[in-house]
Chain A
C-alpha cells in the first residue's frame, strides 16, 4: 500500500472543482469499505482520497410528497433498520440487510454500495493485469469462472456485486449526480453500463462526479416488493444469483411487475420478457419458470457458470410466489 493524502471537502461543489483536472489521482471515499481494500491490495494507487463524510447532511432518509429521498452517505445499517423502508419498500430493506456483515453495514454507505467495484478474483489480484485494469485479456473467460456473468458479457465477465442496485432499480429509483457539467437526475437503470461501452468502468460516473441522492417514488396501492439472494454460506457473501421483484398484485395475478436479477451480468439485469409473460396471468410455479427460461434464453454461460441459469429460475419463482 502506498501513502495518500486525505482531502476533507465541506461542500459537494468543492469536490467537483477539486478533482476537475487531476482525474485519476483522486478517489472519492464514502465508508471506505471497498475503496480502502482496493488501495491496500494495490489495485488502485490514488494520491488523494477525498473523504465525502466530511460534507455535512448527506446522510438522511426523508419521505416527501413525490417520493422518498435517501442521502448517498446513509449507512447500510441505517437503511436496513429504517421502519419506513422496512414497511413500504421491503425489497430495499431485505437487500440492505443482506449486504456483508454488521460491521460492513455500519461503515458502508448506500452510494458506495452502488458505486463499488467488481469482485472478480482476477480483478482483485494486484499481479493480474486484465482488461478491466488496462491489460489485453480477460482471464476469467477461459479461466475459473463459476461466479462470472452469464449475460451481458463479452470483453469482461464481471457480475455487478451490489445488492442495493437490483432492488432500487426494481423500485424505479432515480439518482442525482453532482457534476461540474451541471447536476442531473437519471433513472438508476441508466447509470450502469456494459463492458462494451467502457470495459474499465461499470457506470457512467466521471472521477469528479458525485452520486448525491437516491429517490424512490411513493408506493402505489397494493404494491409489494421483495429481494431474494442466493449465497453459498449462511451469511456474509456476495450473491450467486439474486432477484428483486416489485409489483401490484391481487388475486394471484400481477397487474404490473418489475423483475431485476443480480449476480448474473455486469449490470443489474432487467427481465422485461419475463415480466410481460407473467403480467395479467394466474401465477403458478410453471409460469414463472417458463417466463424466466424464456427471458434467459439469450444467456451465454461460460465453462463453469451454467448452473446460474437454473438457479435464477428457482430464486425468481420463489421470490414471485412469496409476494402472493
Chain B
C-alpha cells in the first residue's frame, strides 16, 4: 500500500455516511411512481415522431416515395436520408480524445442499401401518434431484396455477400501473442479443446428508448432523453451541421440502460424533426421497435484449446473468437478488444495465442451490453477450466487455485497487476457460502454445483484518456450543491456523489442537492458506461469537496489559532479532533470565507491514468485502468427427464474495494446475477435470416421472480480500488461469471457438457440423449 493510500485508509476510519446502507435519496419517489421519466414529458404544441424501419435485412433501396404521406392532414414532416444535412457520420469511441483505426460508418437513415431488418429508413412527425403511424404506411419504399449473410463465419469467408458497400465484412481483428503457444502445448500433459457459442442477448430494460426535443428561446436544439451518454450532443450537432454548443442534451432518470442506451437512440431523429418543423417533438419506441432497433450483446463463436500439466498447472491457451457485429460497426471493435484481452481470464498462463475477429452480417447490430464482451469469453474459459479439472481429477476449485493471477503477476498481455487480486479468496468464500449440498427430491432430479471466476475492468480503456468533472459548492446555510454531468441509470450514480460530498463536508445527506446530466449546465462527466461513474466522477467530486474543505479548515484554523490538520468537519460544525467539544458552527466559517473572498465552490477534474495504444501485433500493453475480481457459485437441480433446470442457491462474491453504499452494491450484485442467469438459462434473441422472431417480452423470456432465489452477496472490501475511498466498480463485474457458474453446475449434475447458451430444457434433453 502506498503512503497516499495509507493516509486515505486512516482518513476512512470513522466515516459518517460512506459505507452506510442508506436508502437512496430518490427511492421513495420511485416507489410511489413520482419519478419523471422521458416519456412522461409533454410539451405544448408537441408533435409525435415515428420511424419507418426496413422490412428487409438485406436489400437495395430503389426509390422512396413520400408524397402520399406528406399529403396526409396532420403530417408536419417526412424525412429521408436526402433531408439529413450530414447523414453519414463516423462513430468515434473517445468523446474527448480520438484514437485512430476502427472508426465505423454510421447512418442516421438508410441510404441506397439496408443492412439489417429494422434499420431506420424514414422519419415522420405528425400531430398525433395515430396520424404518424398512418403516414408511415403511406411511404412507398421500393426494395430489391438481396441475398444477405447471417452467420459471421460465412460472412468472414472470401467472396461472401458484402454487408456494406466496398469494405470488408471483417471489421477488425486482434492478436495476443505470449511466447510460442505450441511449445506450451508440447509441455502439457492434458489438453482440452472445444467450440462454444453464445446467442444475442437483449437488455430488456423496463423503459424503451424515449425522448422529447424542442428549440429553446435562444435557438438551441434541446433534447431531453433517456441516455447513458449526454455527450452525444456533439454527434447530433454534426448531423445537423451546427456548432456543438447549439445542441443541448438533458438526461432524464433512466429506466434501465445496461449498455443499450450507450449508442445514440432517438436523439438524432428528434433533433432532425424538431429542426425541420420548429416544433417540439416526442418519440418513444414500442417494445418491439426497441428490440429491433438497439444493439445486442454480441453472439460469439469461440474455439478454445487449453493445456495443463498433470499437476494442474496451466501451460497453454489458444483461442479464436468470432463475433457477430450485425449490420453496422457501432462498438464492435471495442467489445472485441475487451474479449481479446479478457480471453485468458484471471489465470497465469505462460504460452498464449489469441486471434479475434468481429464481422458484419445482416443481423440486428450488436453493441454494448453490461460486461462488454467479457461474459462471452468467461463462459468459454471457465468451461475449459472445469473440463480440465475433470480430466485431471482435481476439484474445480483446486485447478483454479493453482493458476489464479496474483498481485505482481502479469496477464497474457504483459500488464502487471499492481493491486490486490482477490483470488483465491472470492472463490473459496463463494463456494463455502453454498453450504451443505441439497438432496434430490425425486429420482429424476440431479443436483450439481459450479463456480466460475472473472475479472472485469472498470473505467474506460486507458488510451482513451478519460476524464470527468464535478462542481461542488457550499451555500451560506451550509447546504451543498453538486453539479455533475453523470447520467443516472437507476444504479444510484447521483446518490453516491451526494454521499461523497456529505462525508467530506460534514453535512447530512438531506442538505445535499445534486444536479446531473445537462450538457449546458453541469460539468461534463463522460459516459455512464464501462463501470466508470463512481470511479471517475466520484473521484472528481471527492477532489472538489476536499478543496472546499481545505479552504474552510484553513479559515477556521485562523479563527481558532490552531493548525488546520487538527480540525475536521462534522455535523455542520468545525471540530477540534482532540477536543471534540471545541467547535464552531459551519455557517460561521462560511460567512467569514464569503466576506474574505475565499472560494466556497470548486470544479475539479479527475484524470484516469493515460497510456498509449497497445502493440496490435502482439496485444502487449495496458488497456484498462484496473479490474474487479470475483467469483459466482451456483447450486442447481436438473430434471433429467424434462431437462428443466431449477436454481437452488446463488452466490456472488466480489472484491468491491469499498462499498460507498452497501445497498446500492447489493442491488448491482443481484441485478447482474439475475441478468447473467437469464443469459445462462433462457435469454435468446432468435433470428432467422435476419428476422427477429422474439421481438416482445412474451417471446423473449427473461427470468421472473420464480426463476431466482435469494442471492447470497458476499462483499469483500480490500480498499484497494482506484475509486473514491478505495472503491472499485461493480455494475458490470456483477454479471461476468454467473452464466459459466450455472453451466458448470448443470454439467456437474449431468456429467456431460453443453457448449452453447442458453441451456434450455430442450438442449439439455438432446445432450443427454446423445451421451
Q: Which residues of A contact B (CB under 8 A)?
A: 1-3, 40-41, 119, 121-122, 124-125, 127-128, 143-144, 146, 230, 232-238, 240, 307, 310-311, 314-315
Contacts and interface: CB of A to CB of B under 8 A. Distances in A.
B698 interface: yes
Interface string B569-600: 00000000000000000000000000000000
Contact of B133 (A1, A121, A311): A1
28 contacts: A1-B130, A2-B133, A2-B134, A3-B130, A41-B288, A121-B699, A124-B696, A125-B691, A125-B693, A128-B691, A143-B688, A144-B686, A144-B688, A230-B644, A232-B761, A233-B681, A233-B701, A233-B703, A233-B706, A234-B703, A234-B706, A235-B704, A235-B706, A235-B707, A236-B704, A238-B698, A240-B761, A311-B761
Contacts of A230: 642, 644, 761
Contacts, number: 64
A143 B133 CA distance: 30
A233 B641 contact: no
Main DSSP-derived SS at the A contact region: loop
A121 B693 CA distance: 6
Contacts of A311: 642, 761, 765
B765 A307 contact: yes
Contacts of B765: 307, 310-311
B766 A307 contact: yes
A234 B766 contact: no
A234 B693 contact: no
Interface in B680-730: 681-682, 686, 688, 691, 693-696, 698-699, 701, 703-707
Interface residues of B, number: 31
Given A230-B761, A240-B761, 10 more contacts: A2-B134, A119-B698, A121-B693, A144-B693, A232-B644, A232-B761, A234-B707, A235-B706, A236-B704, A314-B642
Interface of B: 55, 130, 133-134, 286, 288, 641-642, 644, 681-682, 686, 688, 691, 693-696, 698-699, 701, 703-707, 760-762, 765-766
B176 to A, nearest CB: 36
B701 A2 contact: no
A240 B644 CA distance: 12
B117 to A, nearest CB: 8
B757 to A, nearest CB: 14
A128 B642 CA distance: 33
Contact of B641 (A124, A146, A314): A314
Nearest to A317: B641
A44 to B, nearest CB: 15
Given A121-B699, A143-B688, A307-B765, A233 B130 contact: no
Most A C-beta atoms less than 10 A away, residue of B642, B699, B707, B760: B642
- 3 smallest A-B Cβ distances: which pairs? A234-B706, A234-B707, A121-B693
Contacts of A234: 703-707
A232 B701 contact: yes
B68 to A, nearest CB: 16
Contacts of B703: 233-234
A315 B642 CA distance: 8
B434 to A, nearest CB: 21
B51 to A, nearest CB: 14
Most A C-beta atoms less than 10 A away, residue of B691, B696, B701: B691
B682 A2 contact: no
Contacts of A236: 704
A124 B694 CA distance: 10
A122 B762 CA distance: 21
A236 B691 CA distance: 25
A128 B55 CA distance: 9
A117 B705 CA distance: 27
Given A2-B133, A3-B130, A237 B688 contact: no
A249 to B, nearest CB: 21
A143 B691 CA distance: 11
Contacts of A315: 642
A40 B704 CA distance: 24
Contact of A233 (B696, B704, B762): B704
A177 to B, nearest CB: 29
Contacts of B641: 314
A144 B699 CA distance: 13
A215 to B, nearest CB: 31
A197 to B, nearest CB: 27
B346 to A, nearest CB: 31
Contact of B694 (A1, A121, A238, A310): A121
Contacts of B688: 143-144
Nearest to B53: A127
B74 to A, nearest CB: 12
B425 to A, nearest CB: 33
Most B C-beta atoms less than 10 A away, residue of A2, A121, A236, A240: A121
Nearest to A143: B688
A60 B154 CA distance: 59
Contacts of B693: 121-122, 125, 144
Nearest to B641: A314
A302 B696 CA distance: 24
Contacts of A233: 681-682, 701, 703-704, 706-707
B288 A127 contact: no
A310 B768 CA distance: 13
A121 B641 CA distance: 27
Contacts of A235: 704, 706-707
A65 B696 CA distance: 46
Nearest to B130: A3
Nearest to B764: A307
Contacts of A238: 698
B642 A125 contact: no
Nearest to A120: B693
B762 A307 contact: yes
A237 B696 CA distance: 13
A232 B698 CA distance: 12
Given A144-B688, A233-B707, A307-B765, A2 B698 contact: no
A91 B434 CA distance: 38
A128 B286 CA distance: 18
Most B C-beta atoms less than 10 A away, residue of A1, A40, A143, A232: A232
B695 A125 contact: yes
Contacts of B644: 230, 232
Contacts of B130: 1-3
